[in-house]
Amino acid sequence: MHMRRNKKERQRLLQETITENPFITDEELAEKFQVSIQTIRLDRLELSIPELRERIRHVAAKRFDENVKALPLEEVVGEIIDMQLDQHGISILEIGPEHVFKRNNIARGHHLFAQANSLAVALINEELALTAKANIQYVRPVRLKERVVAKAKVLDIENDKGRTVVEVKSFVGTEVVFTGTFEMYRSNKMDEEGNSI
């Protein structure tokens, strides 16, 4: 059994941990430091560290705002945490009361679809990108307070048709909860090097 750290030491380590991983939750921090969630929240307040949602938004705005062309970041469902246009991207959606059916706390399917679809749109390196076709599967129900991580990757760019095929897999932990293949229409066709023509 390891000794409990004093407050100063805990706050120093807390700051380091959040700097290394801005996407760590208060629950994960409480477990790591073996203190209550309330203690972590008070530490964050004293250190002027914003809550997770704000940290994600800040990192995303700093990293991706100038790059994403097909839709404004605030129109993406979930928070983008990684993005390489025309290659791959990741977004996180925390399932809150506004996303679920009240009677059973299961997330409404259109939120999972919207997260995956808006990530696929954001991935396209064009001013205009639209979903032409989608093949989707809901693998298991997602519940209130679960965190959905959607991972998208470009499978194919069909330059002659102005289409891009994007695969999205959504996870809760390591478990796949949703899969989708989106055929995206892009406003411009591209040459062999991936430049608009």
Going along the chain from its start, the domains and CATH numbers come out as 7-49 (1.10.10.10), 70-186 (3.10.129.10)
pLDDT in the model for residue 190: 47
Model confidence over 83-115: pLDDT tens digits? 888 899 999 999 999 999 999 999 999 999 999
Query: Between 95 and 60, whose confidence is greater?
Result: 95
Percentage of the residues of the chain whose pLDDT score is greater than 90:
49
143: buried, middle or exposed (CB in 10 Å: 19+, 13-18, 0-12)? middle
Long-range contacts made by residues 129-133, C-beta under 8 angstroms, separation at least 24? 129/70, 129/71, 129/164, 129/184, 129/185, 129/186, 129/187, 130/184, 130/185, 131/182, 131/183, 131/184, 131/185, 132/163, 132/183, 132/184, 132/185, 133/182, 133/183
Whole-number mean pLDDT of the chain? 85
Q: Is the pTM of this model over 0.85?
A: no
Model confidence over 9-35: pLDDT tens digits? 999 999 898 888 777 888 889 999 999
Query: Between 50 and 146, whose confidence is greater?
Result: 146
3-class secondary-structure state, position 8: helix
pLDDT in the model for residue 7: 87
Contact 14, 25 (CB under 8 A): no
